């Protein structure tokens, strides 16, 4: 029997795979803990989809709020550490 589970919750997909419900196609950072513990096994290890990265769009013609500047800096620093 084949059941397809689709949706935006990557954590839910990982939990389902850990519970033995099937495969989960998620970015490695969501499954790293379970890969390290051996609860999940990487399939097709030589095959990877190249990331297109992320994009943030905001109007350039206005003053940038401090909260937005801090958010952008935090995202950039987080991605730098992960890579």
CB-CB contact of 44 with 23 (8 Å) = no
**From CA 18, how far away is CA 31, in angstroms rounded?**
9
Q: From CA 15, how far away is CA 2, in angstroms rounded?
A: 18
pLDDT category at 10 given cuts 50, 70, 90 is: confident
pLDDT of residue 1: 44
User: Per-residue pLDDT tens for 39-65?
Assistant: 998 888 788 777 777 787 877 777 888
Please give the model's pTM, rounded to 2 decimal places. Answer: 0.52
- Dihedral sign, Cα of residue 43, residue 50, residue 3, residue 7: positive
């Amino acid at each position: 029997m084949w059941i397809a589970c689709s949706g935006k919750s990557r954590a839910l997909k990982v939990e389902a795979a850990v519970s033995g419900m099937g495969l989960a196609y998620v970015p490695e950072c969501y499954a790293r803990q379970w890969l390290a513990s051996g609860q999940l096994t990487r399939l097709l290890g030589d095959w990877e989809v190249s990331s297109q990265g992320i994009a943030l769009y905001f109007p350039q013609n206005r003053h940038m709020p401090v909260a937005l500047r801090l958010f952008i800096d935090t995202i950039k620093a987080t991605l730098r550490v992960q890579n």
